[in-house]
């Protein structure tokens, strides 16, 4: 189902990708895509696709971006605010590296930092959106995110996925600070 939905999204959003490509190229020099290694299912490392939003080559993951951040391009601020920079990860879904819903893929170096909750997250495909993303995301500590990831893995269902997708759209519209929630300890 992920592959069919991913292909449909790629086809539907292709004109938007072209428009964003033009804006990114006009706004700053450099590549359109930004690639970064991430940790996937069962610890397999893969390259994630993102739209480049910064002037420098190295992007700081999971960092809150302020409107006047000098490292972020003008277009990049809006791409990040509305999570459009993450949209090319639909290619990762189409390739089978990711799912639409699941724990967000983290940097490979974080594997050594995982507690028991963190280790559960690599038992499923990482996702474009997940339970921790709709409950605070970058405002949460890694331990809180991993607790949400474990909760997701242990309660995975189609209904839970639909709730996460719905809440993701609300966050895109309203911003994630309105949905902060600490996991039950």
Each residue's pLDDT tens digit, 40-50: 999 999 999 99
Confidence of residue 147 (pLDDT cuts 50, 70, 90): very high
Does residue 83 sit in helix, strand or coil?
A: coil
- The predicted-structure confidence for 48-65, as pLDDT tens digits, reads as follows 999 998 886 555 555 555
Distance of alpha carbon 57 from alpha carbon 31, whole angstroms: 9
179 versus 175: which is more confidently predicted? 175
Q: Is there a contact between 72 and 1 (Cβ–Cβ < 8 Å)?
A: no
Average pLDDT of the chain, as a whole number: 88
**Alpha carbon 93 to chain centroid, angstroms:** 12
Distance of alpha carbon 128 from alpha carbon 169, whole angstroms: 12
Place of tokens 């409950």: 135
Percent of the chain residues topping a pLDDT of 70: 88
Would residue 83 be called left, alpha or beta, if left means φ above 0 and alpha means ψ between -120 and 50 degrees?
Answer: left
Among 78, 64, 89, 71, which Cα is nearest to 140's?
Answer: 64
Q: Which helix (H) or strand (E) holds 59?
A: none
Q: Is there a contact between 133 and 106 (Cβ–Cβ < 8 Å)?
A: no
pLDDT above 80 (res 158): yes
Does residue 127 sit in helix, strand or coil?
A: strand
CA end-to-end span of the chain: 33
Q: Calculate the alpha carbon distances from 152 to 145, 146, 184 in Å.
A: 11, 10, 13
């Amino acid at each position: 189902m992920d592959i069919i939905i991913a292909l449909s999204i790629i086809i539907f959003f292709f004109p938007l990708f072209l428009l964003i490509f033009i804006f990114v190229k006009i706004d700053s020099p450099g590549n359109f895509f930004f690639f970064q290694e991430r940790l996937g299912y069962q610890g397999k490392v893969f390259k994630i696709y993102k739209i480049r939003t910064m002037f420098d080559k190295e992007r700081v993951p999971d960092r809150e971006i302020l409107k006047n951040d000098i490292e972020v391009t003008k277009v990049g601020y809006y791409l990040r605010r509305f999570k459009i920079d993450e949209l090319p990860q639909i290619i990762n879904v189409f390739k089978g590296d990711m799912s639409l819903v699941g724990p967000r893929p983290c940097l490979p170096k974080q594997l050594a930092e995982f507690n028991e909750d963190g280790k559960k997250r690599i038992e499923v495909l990482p996702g474009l959106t997940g339970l921790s993303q709709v409950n605070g995301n970058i405002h949460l500590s890694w331990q809180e995110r991993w607790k949400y990831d474990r909760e997701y893995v242990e309660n995975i269902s189609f209904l839970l996925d639909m709730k996460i997708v719905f809440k993701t759209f609300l966050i895109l519209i309203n911003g994630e600070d309105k949905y902060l929630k600490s996991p039950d300890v």
